[in-house]
Amino acid sequence: SPQVVWDTLGNRQFCSYKITTKTQNFCRNEYNITGLCNRSSCPLANSQYATVREEKGRCYLYMKTIERAPFPRRLWERVLLSKNYEKALEEIDENLIYWPRFIRHKCKQRFTKITQYLIRIRKLTLKRQRKIVPLRRKIERREKRREEKALIAAQLDNAIEKELLERLKQDTYGDIYNFPIHAFDKALQQQEAESESESDAEQEEDEEDVDKREFVEGDDSDLSDFEDMDKLETSSEEEQEEEEEVEKKSNSKSKGKTPLKGAARRKRPYIEIEYEEETEPTTKTKAA
């Protein structure tokens, strides 16, 4: 009889569905309606019992009566509830008519809760879902190692420097930088054919200004090299201001950032006698 069952299992002896915590006792039985371990909620200790459970999104009402107690296979009777919330509540009432109030009430509560969480599931699946992909340790290790080796093989600094020098050679920077001898060899040969000294002089002054401006901006950055550059620049400027003739500067130290006045030489280190002829007369007259 159910009273005996409760006295032994529920209260005193061991029940495998029972979980005790500090404040409460829970019941792990799948047919339990409230989830707590109580005299009125124990499916084992009540011969007339009902629950609501859901399977694959559909809710069922399970009922147990005394008549079927000796037939465990047919013990729980299952009724499919309608998808409509109100109609389902009515169905519960219909099926559990004349049943104790407690069970009816708890069934409806449980059914409400279940429908609420089903709605939430459906809403969440519409939102973006984060997919969790497991990392594979061997693959991670392999990738890391390959990356290190690739980094060493890449020799990034060298590659970048080479590329920049290539671009300098191919004149992508235009007239900003003054030194490359080879590129200007070609330009030199071109200019031997033409005589553009005056236009050169004008361009010279413009370019001097531009260069100067660039150097000011360059000074803002914090490379230590720049200090050396500044010294070189000023010293060579002074030298050239004194000299009337520009001498061959085969030393690559003159980064060509030194603006050449008067002698109207482009960024070439070589001198062209043509230019000197143009400017010399004026200086001579001044001296005189």
Assess 218 for contact with another protein (CB under 8 A): yes
Binding residues for another protein, total number by CB under 8 A: 41
Assess 221 for contact with another protein (CB under 8 A): yes
Assess 147 for contact with another protein (CB under 8 A): yes
Q: Which of 223, 227, 234, 250 binds another protein (CB under 8 A)?
A: 223
Binding piece for another protein, criterion CB under 8 A, among 5-13, 41-49, 142-150, 237-245 = 142-150
Comparing CB distances to another protein, the nearer of 133 and 273 is 133
Assess 252 for contact with another protein (CB under 8 A): yes
Task: Name residues contacting another protein, limited to 253-282 (CB under 8 A).
Answer: 253, 255
CB of 201 to another protein, least distance (A): 24
Q: Which residues pair with 59 in a beta bridge?
A: 54
Match 């859901």 to its residue by tokens. Answer: 54
Q: Which of 22, 73, 123, 128 binds another protein (CB under 8 A)?
A: 128
CB of 212 to another protein, least distance (A): 13
Comparing CB distances to another protein, the nearer of 26 and 177 is 177
Assess 66 for contact with another protein (CB under 8 A): no
Q: How far apart are CA 270 and CA 273, in angstroms?
A: 10
Task: Name residues contacting another protein, limited to 149-208 (CB under 8 A).
Answer: 149-151, 153-154, 156-157, 159-161, 163-165, 167-168, 173-174, 176-177, 179-182
Which residues are near another protein by CB under 8 A? 127-128, 139, 143-144, 146-147, 149-151, 153-154, 156-157, 159-161, 163-165, 167-168, 173-174, 176-177, 179-182, 214, 217-218, 221-223, 225-226, 252-253, 255
